[in-house]
Chains A and B, each alone.
Chain A
Amino acid sequence: METDRPGLITVDAPSEKAATSSTPILRFEDVSKIYPLPAGDVVALDHVSLTVEPGEFIAVMGPSGSGKSTLLNMMGCLDVPTSGKIYLSGQEISRMSDDDLTRLRRDRIGFVFQQFNLIPLLSAVENVEFPLVLTAGREESRQRAIEVLRMMHLDDALFSHRPGELSGGEQQRVAIARALVNDPDLLLCDEPTGNLDSKTGTAIMGILAAENREGKTVIMVTHDPGVAAYARRTIRIVDGRLV
Chain B
Amino acid sequence: MIFLDLAVRNLKRHKVRSVLATVGIIIGVVAIASLGIMGSSLSVLVGGMVSDVSDTLLVTPHLAISSGDPFDPRNTLAARISGRDLGLIEKAAEQHRVIPMILASDRLQVRDKGGYVALYAMPATEIPFLLEEEAGTYPRAGSSGVMVGSLLADELDLHPGSRIEVGGESVRVAGIAAERGMGIDINPDYALIVTEEWYTERHGDQDYSRVIVKVGDLAEIEEVKVAIDQQVNRRKEVVDVLDSREILEIYYETFDAINIFLIGIGAVSLLVASVSILNVMIISVTERTGEIGLMRSIGARRREVLLMFLYESLILGIAGSLAGGVVSMAIAYSVTTSVAGLFADFAVSGGDGIPVAVVIGYTAFAMAFGTAVSIVAGFYPAWKAARLNPIEALRYE
Contact = CB atoms under 8 A, between A and B. Distances in A.
Contacts of A105: 297-299
A98 B300 CA distance: 11
Nearest to B299: A106
Contact of A106 (B294, B298, B302): B298
Contacts of B291: 119-120
Secondary structure dominating the interface of A:
helix
Contact of B294 (A98, A119, A133): A119
A121 B10 contact: yes
Secondary structure dominating the interface of B:
helix
A102 interface: yes
B296 A102 contact: yes
Contacts of B304: 134
Interface string A94-113: 00001100110111000101
B299 A107 contact: yes
Nearest to B296: A102
B111 interface: no
A73 interface: yes
A111 B6 CA distance: 21
A101 B336 CA distance: 60
Contact of B301 (A78, A99, A122, A130): A99
Interface string B1-42: 010001001100100000000000000000000000000000
B17 to A, nearest CB: 15
Contacts of B302: 98-99, 102
Contacts of A120: 291
Given A99-B302, A102-B300, A105-B299, A117 B6 contact: no
Interface string B277-294: 000000000000011001
Contact of A78 (B9, B300, B391): B391
B297 A111 contact: yes
Interface string A56-79: 000000000000000001001011
Contacts of B294: 113, 117, 119
Interface in B244-302: 290-291, 294-302
Contacts of A138: 2
A27 interface: no
A122 B291 CA distance: 11
B6 A178 contact: no
B111 to A, nearest CB: 91
Interface in A151-182: 178-179, 182
Q: How large is the interface on A (under 10, 10 to 19, 20 to 34, 35 or more residues)?
A: 20 to 34
A240 interface: no
B295 A119 contact: yes
A138 B3 CA distance: 13
B298 A130 contact: yes
A131 interface: yes
A140 to B, nearest CB: 14
B299 A122 contact: no
Select the residue from B10, B295, B301 with max chain A CB neighbours within 10 A. Answer: B301
B88 interface: no
B299 A134 contact: yes
Contact of B299 (A98, A103, A121, A126): A103
A107 B300 CA distance: 11
B10 A111 contact: no
A116 B390 CA distance: 16
B326 to A, nearest CB: 29
A77 to B, nearest CB: 9
B394 interface: yes
B283 to A, nearest CB: 16
Contacts of A113: 294, 394
B138 to A, nearest CB: 76
Contacts of A182: 299
A166 B300 CA distance: 24
Interface in B198-212: none
Interface in B293-320: 294-304
Interface of A: 73, 76, 78-79, 98-99, 102-103, 105-107, 111, 113, 117, 119-122, 126, 130-131, 133-134, 138, 178-179, 182
Interface of B: 2, 6, 9-10, 13, 290-291, 294-304, 390-391, 394
26 contacts: A98-B301, A98-B302, A99-B302, A99-B303, A102-B299, A102-B300, A102-B301, A105-B298, A106-B298, A106-B299, A106-B300, A107-B299, A111-B298, A113-B294, A113-B394, A117-B290, A119-B6, A120-B291, A130-B2, A130-B298, A131-B298, A131-B299, A133-B2, A134-B304, A138-B2, A182-B299
Given A78-B390, A105-B298, A111-B298, 8 more contacts: A98-B301, A102-B296, A117-B290, A121-B9, A121-B13, A122-B9, A126-B2, A182-B299
